[in-house]
Amino acid sequence: MGIDLPLLWAIIILFSIMMYVVMDGFDLGIGILYPFFQEKSERDVMMNTVAPVWDGNETWLVLGGAGMLAAFPLAYSVVLSACCLPLSFMLMGLIFRGVAFEFRFKAREHERHVWDKAFIGGSVAAAFFQGVTLGATIQGMPVVKRSYAGGALDWLTPFSLFTGVGLVVAYALLGSTWLIMKTQGSLQARAGRITRTLVWLLLGVIAIISAWTPLVDPAIAARWFSLPQLFWFLPVPLLVLGAGWLLLRSLRRGRQTAPFLLTLALVFLGYSGLGVSVWPNIIPPSVSIWEASSPPQSQGFTLVGALFIIPVILMYTVWSYYVFRGKVHPEDGYH
């Protein structure tokens, strides 16, 4: 029995995207939360909590994109054609916030507000347009003769815009719980108050998207609500409610690490729910991972490199987080 290379590559790409959402989500969330913290010292601490790791986090985005190009070139070309504008806006947002990281601490006092605004705008734009691209992919892309057959603005729908807002909320919650874990004092207390509001917002977003997604495609509705699949998938919403309740309880009890871990659980459950909705299609509603895959020779060749580089990325990621573990204090400099 041979190895199912398209399935293996789909797992690698899904893992890379999930790692990006987890690892880069909280530092995008820091930028989204910047307007709620006006003191320069607080903003310095917020940025210092992610400064040592933010650029390494984006490695997962590069790996996911490169993996899709190598393993599923049809999906890469269709998604890039259908979502050219939101993906371009996302990249511009990532560029602005990356530049703001380096220039904010070097700017004169009267110029720092410019880089603060670049950091906020870049973070919000990157998060929002990532969500828009996700929503546009879920709602489906027409493919005729292995080419995108839709319009340049087909991605611009109420559903995709709402998923964009939803991802901004999710990243903001990751950022606020990260601050609870990495800071102390008044900054930590304010992050805790913001987190309580964001938990309810995210639960509401998950509920709306869960109800809206089956309306986008009848096949998704049939998958979730027909028997016996209903019994297999019913634990997902129950686990979301359970994780939300535990998250709120951990905030009431003053826990510092548990809120971040439980937020990761919420994000993972939402991610898995969307995956269940479209699987095994990589281009909804009708192009599967096997139909969109590259030749086995190409997938096998690039798999060798992927199986070498992924452990390396995991090792230096774990090492960097270990080195910069613990609380960040106001007297700590930018590194």
**Dist. CA 260–CA 255, nearest whole Å:** 10
Among the listed residues 282, 302, 300, 305, the one whose alpha carbon sits nearest the alpha carbon of residue 72? 282
147: left (phi over 0), alpha (psi -120 to 50) or beta: beta
Instruction: Tell which residue, 224, 158, 234, 180, has the closest CA to residue 45.
Output: 180
Q: What does residue 39 show for φ and ψ, rounded to 5 degrees?
A: -70, 135
| pLDDT values of the chain reduced to their tens digit, one per residue, 335 residues | 467 889 999 999 989 988 888 888 888 999 999 999 888 888 888 888 888 787 777 888 888 888 899 899 999 999 999 999 999 999 999 998 888 887 877 777 777 788 888 999 999 999 999 999 999 998 888 888 888 888 888 899 999 999 999 999 999 999 999 999 998 888 889 999 999 999 999 999 998 988 888 877 777 777 777 777 667 777 888 888 999 999 999 999 989 899 999 999 998 888 888 887 888 888 888 888 998 888 988 889 999 988 888 999 889 888 888 888 888 776 665 55
| Cβ neighbours of residue 111 closer than 8 Å, sequence gap 6 or more | none
